[in-house]
Structure 1
Amino acid sequence: TRQVEKIWIARPAHPFAGIFIHRGRVFVPVFNKGLHRLAGNEMVKASPQGWPKLAYINTAFSLSPSQTLLGTTNSQLYSFESQHLQALPLEAEAYLQENILTGGRDLPGPYFALATLTGGCLLLDKKNLAVAHTLSYQTGLPDDEVKALGPDQYGGLWLATEYGISRADLSLPIENFGDFPGLEGRITAVAWHQNTLYVGTTLGLFQLRPVKDPRQLITLVRQREEKLTEVKTTIDRTLLITKYEEISRTERLYRTIFGNPDQQKKAERLRKKEERRQERQDKRKSNLADTAKGLEDDPLTTTERSSSLTRERTEGPTQTETYYEYDGQKMSVRYALQSIPFVFEQVAAVKGKCNQILARGARLGVATNLGYFEIQDGQAAWLLRNQEVLDIWHNAQNQAYLATQAGLFFEADAGSGNFEKAEALRARLHSLAGQGKALWLGGEQEIYEIDLDAQGRPRQMRRYLLPDLAQKKIELAFFEQKPWVFAGRQVYGFDARADRWQLSRLPRWQNLAQVLIASDGKTWLQQSGQWRCLSAKAGESSRYLNLFEDLQGIYTDPNQHTWLITHQNLYRLRPLPAPIQARVFLFCYGPSRTGGENPCNRKTWSWTIRIMPFG
C-alpha cells in the first residue's frame, strides 16, 4: 500500500488556497501569501507577478502541455505558463462574476466547460474563449447549480445537480429552438425567409429575434408544466406571472377542490431551496468577516520545512471553507441574456391558425384558417379573407395557387396579390402540387388535374374518383417527374396511358408508416422504423431523424439546415460534413504456391470507399 511521505501544515491565518500540477510540478497557492511550489521536502515561493493573493483556486486543468487554465473563487480565469500568469479576457466574465464559478474541466475537441453556482454550465471555445453553448435549467438541466462535471470517451459531458445526473452529447448536430420564450400554441409549419426564422402555430405566426434588451424577454425562467407569460423584475425580487397550459374540465375541477399536488410540491421544493441559498449566503458573509479579522502578518519563509508525521505537534491543518458572493438581482438579467439569446415575437397582422408557410422569392406566403397573408419587407398584408387555406403552391413565375375548403384560388398576375376563384372547381381541397403547366389537386376521394395557360390561369380540368380513399387525407407530391398520391400507408401512381390512378405495389413503398411532404419540395418516408428522403441529396441527414419518435414536419432551409417539428418542440439539424471518398487500387504480383506463374499477376483491382464523418 502507498504511505503518506510528507504533510505540509498551513498557518492559521494563511490557509492553502488550492493545489494544481503544471508541467509535472506541484503548485500550492497560499492565502494572502501568493503561489508556492513543492520542491523536495520544501515549499518555495514561486509567485508570478499579478498573482491573486486573496482568492482560492477552484478550477485547474491543462489546455496544452505548456498552458494551465486556473479559475478562482472570485470567478476570474487565468492562463499559467511557467512563471507567467495572465488574466484571460472573456465575453462571459460578467456572467461568471454574477453566477459564481465553481469548477471546470477540459473536454476533447474544441471546448472546455465551466460550472457555476447559479448559472448552469458554459462551454467555451479554446481558440477565442467565446461562449459556444450554455447548459442551464432554461435549456434542459434539472437545476442551475452544477455540483460536478466530467467527460466520457464517447464525446458526452456528464453534469451532476441536486436533482440528478444529466448527459449532454456535444457531438450531435442538433439544436433545440422550441424552448425560446414567446412561442405559443402547437407548431404546425416553419420557414426561413430573408435571414429570419418564421414559425407557424395553432395560435398564429411567430418570428425569431435576437435579444438586445432584457425588457424584450416576455418569459425568463422555464417552469415545468407551466408557460410563463410575463416576468417583471423589481429591485428586490423577480415576479413571475404564470399562465397554465390548457387542462381538461375534470382535471381543473379536481384541482379546484383538492388543489394541485404538483404545484404544491414545486412550491415546497422552491421554498426549501431558497432557505438553503439564504443559509449559504449568511455563512459566506460570516466566513468573509472571520477571514478578514484573521489576516495578520505571519511570514512564510521560502526555506522553512513543514511538519512531518513524526513531529510532535498537536495542532492540525487549518480547516477553511470557500466562500462566494452572490447578487440575485444582477444574476436574473445576465442569466436571461446568456441562457435566452433569442425570443419569439408574434406577427400581429397575421390572424388565425397557421396551416402552411411558403417562401416565394422576396415574399413569404402564410396560409391560415382565416385566409391568406403575405409578408414582404417586414410588412404583412391580408390578401384573401374568410377562407380556410390549407396549402400553397407557386409556379416558376411565383404565381400563387391556394387550396381551400371552397375550392381553388389563384393569383391573377404574378406578384399582384389579387386572387380569383376557379369557378369550375368548388370542392374542398386538402393539397396541391404542380410541375410546368400541370396542376394536381387532392380533395375528398377525388383528384383533379388542371392545365394552365401561358398566363397561369386554369384552362381545362379533369376529375378522377378514388372511392377507396374515403375518410383519408390525400397528399400530392412529384417524384421522378411524375405525380404521386399518398393516403395513409397507401401510395397511388398515375398511369398516363390508361388515364387513371392505381395503387402502386412497387418495392420502394413497402412497410410505409408515415409520409411528410415539406414546403421545400422534399418528400420524407418512414419505412421499417427508418426515415429516408426521396431526394438523394438529403439522404445523409436521415439517420438523425430516427432519434425522434413523433416527427410532425421536416423542412430544409436555403442554408441546408434541416428543421424538425415534433409534437411539442422544434429542432434544427446542422449541415453534415461532406462524405470522404477515396479510390483504392490493388496491384497483384508474385509467384503462385505451386511455383508456376500466378494467374493474378499484373492485374489491378480498384474500388471506392465512402466514409461519413459524425458531428
Structure 2
Amino acid sequence: MRYFFLTFLLAGFFNLFGQTGNYFLSHFSPSEKKYDNVCFAMVQTEQGIMYFATRSGVLEFDGRNWNLIPGKGAIYSLQIDAAGDMYWAGADGYGKLEADDKGFLQLKTWSRPEVKDVYQCLVVKDKVYFLTDVALYMHKEETKPIRLPATTLSGSFTGMTELFGSIYLNTGQGILKADGDHLVATTLGFSNEDEILFSSAYQNMYIVGLANNKLYLCGEDLRPREMVLEDQPYITASVVVSGSWVNRDLLVLGTLRGGLIFIHAASGKTQEIINYSTGLPDNEVYALMNDKSQSIWLAHEYGFTRVSPYLPFRSFSHYDGLQGNLLCALSLGDQVYVGTSLGLYALQKEEVFEEVIHYDYVLKPAKKEVKKEAAPPLASPPAEETKPPVAEAQSKKKGFLWFLKRKRVESKPTTEGKADVAVTPVEPEATSPANTNPAAKPSYQRIKKVEKVLRSAHYVYKKVAGIDAKITSLEQVGDHLVAAGLGGAYEVTGLQAWPLVEEPVRSVFNAADEKMLFISTYKDEIRTMVLGEEGWQTSSILNPLDEPVIHIFKGAEHEFWLCGLDQVHRVEIENQQIKTIQSIPVNNPNFDGTAGIFRKNEVVAINSQGFFKYDRSRQTFVPIDTLAKPLRYFASDNDIWFRDAHRWNLFGQHPGQSNLDLLNLFSDLRFIASDQTSDNLWLITGNNELYKFFGEKFTPYEPGYPLLLKSVRNDNRKVSRAGLMELDQEKSSVSFEIVQPDYLGSESVEYRYQLFGLEKGWSEWSSSYNIVDFPYLPAGEYTLMAQAKDIFGKVQDLPPVKFEVLPPYWKRPWFYAMEFALFASLVLLSFRLSTRYRFISRILSLLTIILLIQFIQTAIGETFETRTSPVKDFFVQVLVAFLILPVEGYLRKLMLRSLGAQTALHRFVSPKPPVAVEEKQEEN
C-alpha cells in the first residue's frame, strides 16, 4: 500500500512521455557454455537471489555470479512458498531444494521412480501441487501425497492454475476444479473449448489469460469479465503465452513472437511494447516473472532481460533510422536531435504498419446428399479441413512447453506468416453421439486474412538534410538549433540545415544576452557572429590563441571564459564588441580538456588535475583541495558532473538532486548534458546507448537486499558455512565470497571488510572486495566483518563470521601435556637408574633438562608471538632464550646435585665388599 501513490504518480508522469523513449532494459547471460539459456520458470527469494529452471538444472544468479545446481534431467517449474522453501518439477519427477551439510542447495526427489515429466508445480497455502499429463499430486510436509488421476472422461491434463486458493485444471472436458481427491465442474463461465494459459493475482483481483489470446479480470465473485484491449489484433497475432501483474495499474503479457506488451489495466491501452526494435534480443518469450522491485524478468534464447518500467530512464537509441556512434543530444521543444559520427538526426513521429497473416476457420454450409453410383476416382481429391477454429489457438497455447502438456499427436506445420506454429488436429471423442454418424461430421474451410497492425515503434529517426559529417556539439539559439562538427556550424530548423561556417568546428556557445554566437574552429580561431535582421552575420575573429578552445561559458556581466588546454582566456564584450582578452594559466600537464562554470559569483575550472577557483585579486587559478580529482567530467550550463574513484558527483546549481545516485549505473558515460527545457539530463553510455534521465521527478523503488555469505573456500575446497569453522594452520589459505544481490548496478556495489584478530581497521571501499582472500593466517580466533554499499549509498552489514585457525599438533595443549608427561617419566627413570647406571642416568637427566627448556621456550614464544613480522618474532625468541638461560643452569645443578646425593646415600647404605673377597669370588 505504501508504494501505491508513488506507482500512480509514476504511471501518470511517464504516460505523458510514453510516445518517446523506451523502458530501461538490463541484459544478463551466463558466460560459461555449460549453462543452458532455455528457461522454463523463474523465482526470487526474500534475500533477492534469482533461480531459473533450465534443461541443465536450476541456475542460481545473484547479480554477479552464476551457479548451477545440477539435476538428473530438465527442470520445468519452480515455486517458492511463504517460508522461503523452493520446490521443483521436471523430467525426472519432482521434489524440494534443500541445503546439504555444508549449506549448499541440492535437489531432493520426493516422487516415485515411475513418475516422469512433471511439467508444472504450484504452491497454494500450505500445499504443493505437481502436475503430469495423467495425474495431479498434492503434498503436505511429512505426509503421503494425494494422487488425483486423469480419467477417460476428463482426458489428459494440459495445465493448472490457481484462483483464490483453488486449483483449476485444463482437461479434455474443459476447465475442471480439483476438490480433494476428485474433479468437479467450475462456475467460471468458460466454455469447454477454453483453456487457461495463466493467472496472476494482485490483492483481490486476478488476471486470467486464455489460449484464444483473450484476457479476463476475475474478482472474488468468480465471474470473469473480458478486458477490451486497444491492440487486440496485434496481441492475437503475437500469440500470448504468459502474463503477470506489474502493479495495480499495469500488467504485462509475454508473447510467442511479439516480445512483451505492457497494458494499462483500467483502460486496456498499450503502454509500451518491448521487442527486438526496442532493444530486446529476441521476440520469443520463454517465461516471465515480476520481481520485488516492480520490474519484469523475461527469459529468451539469448539469456535474460530485466525491464524496469518505473526507473526514471528512457532509452532513445533503439528507434529506426539512427546511424553512427552517438556523440551528443538535445531537446528543442518536442523535437529530439541526436548528433552522431554520420550526421544529425531528428526523431519524427511516423505510423508504420505491417501486414500480419492469420487464418480463420469457418463452418462450411451443409450439402445435400446426392446418391450416385460408385466409380473409381481418377485422382485423390484433397482432404477437407476438419479442424475447429479453437484448434489453432490451442496449438500455440504454451510456447515451447506444449509437448509436455498433452498427449503426442501428429501435428501439421504451417509456413505462412511471420512464424511457424504447430497445428494439432483435435480428434472427435469416440463416445460423442455426433461422431457415430459420419454424415454429421462438421467440416471447416480455412480462410486467409491479412490485417495491418500498428508496429511498436511509432517514432523513427530521420537525417537532417544538409549535414553529412560528424556532429559533436549542439546549442539551442532561441527557437532554432545550431549544430557543429567536422563539416562546420549549421543553423537547423526541422529537418533542414543551413551552413554558418563551412570549416571544421570544435564547439559553439550562444551568448543570448549579447545576441552573439562564439564558434571555435580547428584553426584555433574564435569566430563571433551577431544576430541581425537578416540572420547571423560575422562580426570579428579573435587573434589565434595557439591552442584549441573546447569549452566556453559565461561569467559575470559582459564576461566570457574560453577554456584551452593549459590556459583559460577571459574575454570582455560590450555592445557586441570585444574589449579585452586576458590569458590565465591553469595547471594541466596532461593537456586534458579544461571546462568550467560560473557559480555563486565564482569562476571554477576543472581538468584531470582537479578543481580550480579563480582568485580575482591575484588573477590566478587556485586549487580546491576539498574536492577529489575527477576521472571523468562534463560541464553543462552551470553544472559540472564528475566521477571520482567511487561514484558520480554534481558540482553546480542543483547539488540536492534526488536521483543523482542512479548515474552510478554507468561508469563509462561519455556525454552528459542538461535538457534545455527542464532539469532532466541526456546521457550517452560507452556502449552507444542514449538515455533521457528524469533526475528531479521521482525516486524509483529498489529494495536493498541483505549482504550474504555465499561461500567459504579453504585450500580451494568449499567448507561448511554453518557453526564455528576450524581451519588447519598448515592449510590456512581461506577465501570468503560475499554478495549483496543487485540487478540494477551490481558492478557498482562496493565492499569493505575487517578481520578482528589480525587487522586493526577497515579496508578501503572497492567493487572487487566481494571476494576476500587470506593466503595465510597464524593460529588463533578470528571474526570477519564486512559491509556492502549500493549505488544509493545504502550500507548493509554482514553478520559476523567467526572461525578459528588451529595450530600444528605439536603446538596444541594436548601435545604439551604429553610432552610434560614424557619429561616426568624421564626424570623418574633417571632417578631409578642412578643407583646402578650412573652414566645412563646422567644422559637422561641432561636430555630431560634440554627438552624441558625447549618446551618452556616454545610455550613462552607462542604466547608472546607478534604475528606481524618474522624479524620481530625472531628477536622475541632470542630474548626468551636469554631469559630462561638462568633457569636452565639452576635445573642442571639441581638435578646433578640430586643425583650425586642419591649416589652417596646408596654407597653409605650398601658399601662395597672387600677386594680379597671379590677376587676370591672371581677365582671361584
TM-score, normalised by the number of residues in structure 1? 0.69
Contact 1:78/1:86 (CA < 8 Å) preserved in 2?
yes
Match of 1:434 among 554, 559, 579: 554
Contact 1:27/1:38 (CA < 8 Å) preserved in 2?
yes
SS in 1 for 2:482: strand
Match of 1:478 in 2: 598
Match of 2:635 in 1: 517
Deviation at 1:564, TM superposition (A): 0.9
SS in 2 for 1:537: coil
Deviation at 1:190, TM superposition (A): 0.9
Deviation at 1:430, TM superposition (A): 2.5
Deviation at 1:172, TM superposition (A): 2.8
Report 1 or 2 for greater relative contact order, CA contacts < 8 Å, sequence distance ≥ 6.
1
Deviation at 1:545, TM superposition (A): 0.9
Match of 2:502 in 1: 385
1:561 aligns with 2:696: no
Match of 1:584 in 2: none
| 1:42-81 alignment, distance < 5 Å | 43-47=183-187, 51-65=190-204, 67-81=205-219
| 1:53-132 alignment, distance < 5 Å | 53-65=192-204, 67-81=205-219, 82=221, 84-108=223-247, 110-132=249-271
CA distance in 2, matches of 1:118, 1:579: 33
CA distance in 1, matches of 2:356, 2:183: 51
Match of 1:253 in 2: none
Deviation at 1:21, TM superposition (A): 3.5
Match of 1:533 in 2: 650
Contact 1:490/1:503 (CA < 8 Å) preserved in 2?
no
Deviation at 1:467, TM superposition (A): 8.0
SS in 2 for 1:546: helix
CA distance in 2, matches of 1:280, 1:372: 63
C-alpha distance after superposition, 1:389-444 (max 9, x if no partner): 42323232543222223422222235753232534422343321113311121235
C-alpha distance after superposition, 1:356-382 (max 9, x if no partner): 111122111111222221223654322
CA distance in 1, matches of 2:411, 2:482: 55
CA distance in 2, matches of 1:415, 1:356: 25
Cα 1:377–1:177 shift into 2, 3 Å: closer
CA distance in 2, matches of 1:389, 1:577: 33
1:417 aligns with 2:535: yes
| 1:441-480 alignment, distance < 5 Å | 441-454=562-575, 456-465=576-585, 469=589, 471-480=591-600
Match of 2:663 in 1: 545
| 1:353-392 alignment, distance < 5 Å | 353-376=470-493, 379-392=496-509
Letter aligned with residue 495 of structure 1: D
Match of 1:609 in 2: none
CA distance in 2, matches of 1:29, 1:497: 85
Match of 1:282 in 2: 413
Contact 2:552/2:560 (CA < 8 Å) preserved in 1?
yes
Match of 2:811 in 1: none
Contact 1:553/1:566 (CA < 8 Å) preserved in 2?
yes
C-alpha distance after superposition, 1:262-283 (max 9, x if no partner): xxxxxxxxxxx9xx9xx98629
CA distance in 1, matches of 2:180, 2:624: 82
1:507 aligns with 2:643: no
Contact 1:447/1:464 (CA < 8 Å) preserved in 2?
yes
CA distance in 1, matches of 2:501, 2:328: 19
Deviation at 1:542, TM superposition (A): 2.0
| 1:319-330 alignment, distance < 5 Å | none
Contact 1:384/1:419 (CA < 8 Å) preserved in 2?
no
SS in 2 for 1:511: coil
| 1:201-212 alignment, distance < 5 Å | 201-212=340-351
SS in 1 for 2:283: coil
CA distance in 1, matches of 2:690, 2:486: 22
Cα 1:285–1:548 shift into 2, 3 Å: closer
Letter aligned with residue 9 of structure 1: A
Deviation at 1:101, TM superposition (A): 0.8
Match of 2:822 in 1: none
Match of 2:432 in 1: 297
| 1:145-156 alignment, distance < 5 Å | 145-156=284-295
Letter aligned with residue 525 of structure 1: F
Contact 1:106/1:113 (CA < 8 Å) preserved in 2?
yes
Match of 1:243 in 2: none
1:173 aligns with 2:312: yes
Cα 1:161–1:281 shift into 2, 3 Å: farther
Unaligned runs of 5+ in 2: 1-141, 359-399, 404-409, 415-419, 435-445, 701-791, 795-924
CA distance in 1, matches of 2:494, 2:461: 18
Match of 1:144 in 2: 283
Match of 1:160 in 2: 299
CA distance in 1, matches of 2:308, 2:422: 40
SS in 2 for 1:396: coil
Contact 1:105/1:112 (CA < 8 Å) preserved in 2?
yes
Deviation at 1:148, TM superposition (A): 1.8
> Highest Rg: 1 or 2?
2
Match of 1:348 in 2: 465
Deviation at 1:292, TM superposition (A): 5.0
CA distance in 2, matches of 1:197, 1:433: 24
Cα 1:347–1:365 shift into 2, 3 Å: same
Cα 1:281–1:148 shift into 2, 3 Å: farther
Match of 2:521 in 1: 404
Match of 1:491 in 2: 611
Match of 1:222 in 2: none
- Bigger mean CA offset, 81-90 vs 352-361: 81-90
C-alpha distance after superposition, 1:26-82 (max 9, x if no partner): 444555x65544556665544565x343232111223442x4322122211122343
Match of 1:21 in 2: 162
C-alpha distance after superposition, 1:231-268 (max 9, x if no partner): xx9999xxxxxxxxxxxxxxxxxxxxxxxxxxxxxxxx
Contact 1:370/1:389 (CA < 8 Å) preserved in 2?
no
CA distance in 2, matches of 1:397, 1:6: 85
Contact 2:411/2:423 (CA < 8 Å) preserved in 1?
no
Deviation at 1:147, TM superposition (A): 1.8
Contact 1:193/1:364 (CA < 8 Å) preserved in 2?
yes
Deviation at 1:512, TM superposition (A): 2.2
Cα 1:292–1:486 shift into 2, 3 Å: same
Percent identity of equivalent pairs: 18
C-alpha distance after superposition, 1:293-347 (max 9, x if no partner): 4487369xxxxxxxxxxxxxxxxxxxxxxxxx9x9997xx85x822x34321111
Cα 1:471–1:20 shift into 2, 3 Å: closer
TM-score, normalised by the number of residues in structure 2? 0.48
Contact 2:295/2:307 (CA < 8 Å) preserved in 1?
yes
Contact 2:509/2:517 (CA < 8 Å) preserved in 1?
yes
Deviation at 1:349, TM superposition (A): 2.2
The CA RMSD measured in Å over matched residues stands at 3.8
SS in 2 for 1:98: helix
CA distance in 2, matches of 1:125, 1:498: 63
CA distance in 2, matches of 1:377, 1:142: 33
